[in-house]
Amino acid sequence: MERLKKAPDFCLPDQEGKEHCLNEYRGSWVVLYFYPRDMTPGCSMEAAHFSWAKDDFEKKGAVILGVSPDTVESHERFCRVKDLSVTLLSDPEKKVIDAYGAWGTKKMFGKTVEGVIRSTFLINPEGEIAHEWKNVRVKGHVEAVKLMVDELVS
Q: Which domain holds residue 65?
A: 11-16+27-153
* Cα three-residue angle 133-127-14, rounded to 5 degrees: 75
11 is catalytic: no
Classified as helix, coil or strand, 100 is coil
**DSSP labels, 31-68:** EEEE-S-TTSHHHHHHHHHHHHTHHHHHHTTEEEEEEE
Q: How far apart are CA 116 and CA 147, in angstroms?
A: 25
pLDDT tens per residue across span 69-108 = 999 999 999 999 999 999 999 999 999 999 999 999 988 7
pLDDT tens per residue across span 31-67 = 999 999 999 999 999 999 999 999 999 999 999 999 9
Structure pTM? 0.94
Classified as helix, coil or strand, 75 is helix
Residue 4 domain flag: no
Choose, from 11, 21, 43, 79, the residue flagged as catalytic. 43
- pLDDT of residue 1 exceeding 60, the answer is no
Residue 115 domain flag: yes
Q: How far apart are CA 88 and CA 25, in angstroms?
A: 15
Residue 79 domain flag: yes
pLDDT tens per residue across span 108-140 = 778 888 999 999 999 999 999 999 999 999 999
Helix or strand holding residue 142 (H, E): helix 141-153
Residue 104 domain flag: yes
Question: Domains in the chain: how many in total?
Answer: 1
State the CATH number of the domain containing residue 134. 3.40.30.10
Residue 34 domain flag: yes
